[in-house]
Amino acid sequence: MLPRHLGIIMDGNGRWAQQRGQPRIVGHREGAQSVKEVVRAAREMGVPTLTLFAFSEQNWNRPAEEVEGLMDLLYRYVVDEHNEIMDNGIRLIAIGDLSRLPGYVQEPLFALIRESADNDHMTLCLALSYGGREDILQAARRLAEEVRSGRMDAAEINEVLFESRLHTAGLPPLDLVIRTSGELRISNFLLWQMAYAELYFTPTKWPDFRRPQLEQALEAYIDRERRFGMVAPKLVHSAGR
């Protein structure tokens, strides 16, 4: 069975370019082509929800020139992919501190989010100016304010309620996270949501990650046995012999 919700940490653009003697922005541009192909492939293969870690809260600390280049690429993606998103029934959403995005990015992004809101063939979630710790903190602050104002009793807070205050509220549980470029870490991506997600690490850098690499990752996921902290039925059966 395919993952209900696939998350991808798109890593390795800069190193891909540097290995070729090119500026880092060249790797980001090539990575943008991977985004287009992977989104299209995921939709065609029937993945219901895809979240792409496009720009982290910590990425604002990169050199101003690189940040500006990334914002320009984001703008171009939203504008250029408008028809692809609408013609294929993709619902676009974005999570993170979107107020930090430049106005020229916010305008077409929010417009496409509104326009695609009723599309139901696939949900594409862009994590922009996003951090997992920051997501958890903002959810905790929202709940604390509701308790302080008397709208809620602290004893009412449970996992379901907490999840409803996260940026990903309403999305399916995160089933699979892919990280490219060979790094073996999760880099502050969907920390709460990742509790029982399967992790798939590949040495392939993001600009080289296209449909065949996505298919390989999904095949590996399908072959895994997910137990969610429980004992597999076949192990229980064996133990009872």
11 in catalytic set: yes
Catalytic residue among 13, 59, 87, 188: 59
For the chain of 241 residues, list the mean pLDDT of each consecutive stretch of 10.
97 97 97 98 98 97 96 98 98 98 98 98 98 98 97 96 98 98 97 97 98 98 80 48 40
d(CA 119, CA 93): 11
pLDDT of residue 136: 98
- CATH number of the domain bearing residue 231: 3.40.1180.10
In a domain, 189, yes or no: yes
Question: What's the domain count of the chain?
Answer: 1
d(CA 174, CA 172): 6
pLDDT of residue 212: 98
Q: At residue 197, what is the residue type? A: A
In a domain, 228, yes or no: yes
pLDDT of residue 226: 74
d(CA 1, CA 19): 37
pLDDT of residue 239: 39
Which residues have CB under 8 Å from 164's CB, separation 6+? none
Range of the domain at 67: 5-131+174-239
Query: Torsions phi, psi of 122, nearest 5?
Result: -170, 150
In a domain, 142, yes or no: no
Q: At residue 116, what is the residue type? A: S
In a domain, 111, yes or no: yes
In a domain, 86, yes or no: yes
153 in catalytic set: no
In a domain, 30, yes or no: yes
Pairing verdict, β 198-201 and 176-179: parallel
Contact (Cβ atoms closer than 8 angstroms) between residue 177 and residue 198:
yes
Which residues have CB under 8 Å from 240's CB, separation 6+? none
Q: At residue 173, what is the residue type? A: P
In a domain, 71, yes or no: yes
In a domain, 151, yes or no: no
